[in-house]
């Protein structure tokens, strides 16, 4: 997979995201990238709708976005930061290597918009560590430190 070099134009829409990430429906969990400082920070958007397939079973009559999928959305945004910051990451799959300090502070429901903010903590070779936060209406919903290994 090849990814065109980032030309500095924001926002990055779903076509641009799909040119970077290998994920597809129903597991593509980021809709737009709105801020980027290569090698440092990124902000992405995930619009949560009742059409998400996981709401059928989580939970019937009381739809709640699973926390693990919020972490996955954060990881996908972090992968975009890594790929746009280091040309060697382009075309590589990112695998979760660890999750630390995960806290779920607010329930995420259909109709919410997740604002996913990630900051690079460190990179050593093909291993990256990022601090992530997910907000709904400027209220912190989820936070964690995420580690990934690029194959």
Active site residue 58: yes
The one catalytic residue among 58, 92, 106, 126: 58
Give tens-digit pLDDT for 106-150: 999 999 999 999 999 999 989 999 999 999 999 999 999 999 999
Number of H helices, E strands in the chain: 2, 6
pLDDT of residue 1: 41
Sequence-distant (≥ 6) Cβ neighbours of residue 145 within 8 angstroms: 98, 99, 100, 101, 121, 129, 130, 131, 132
**Tokens standing for 7?**
């030309």
| Segments making up each domain of the chain, as ranges | 14-150
**Domain 14-150 = CATH 3.10.129.10:** yes
Residue with tokens 């709708």, as numbered in its chain = 49
pLDDT of residue 5: 58
**Smallest Cα–Cα separation from 123: which of 93, 91, 78?**
78
Give tens-digit pLDDT for 42-92: 999 999 999 999 999 999 999 999 999 999 999 999 999 999 998 888 888
């Amino acid at each position: 997979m090849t990814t065109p070099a980032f030309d500095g134009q924001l926002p990055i829409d779903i076509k641009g995201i799909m040119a970077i990430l290998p994920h597809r429906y129903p597991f593509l969990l980021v809709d737009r990238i709105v801020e980027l400082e290569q090698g440092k920070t990124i902000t992405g958007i995930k619009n949560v709708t009742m059409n998400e397939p996981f709401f059928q079973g989580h939970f019937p009559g009381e739809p709640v976005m699973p926390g693990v999928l919020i972490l996955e959305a954060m990881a996908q945004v972090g992968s975009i930061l890594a790929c746009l910051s280091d040309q060697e990451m382009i075309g590589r799959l990112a695998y979760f290597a660890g999750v630390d300090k995960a806290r779920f502070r607010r329930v995420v429901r259909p109709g919410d918009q997740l604002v996913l903010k990630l900051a690079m903590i460190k990179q050593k070779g093909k291993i990256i560590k990022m601090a992530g936060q997910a907000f709904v209406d400027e209220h912190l919903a989820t936070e964690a430190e995420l580690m990934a290994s690029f194959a």
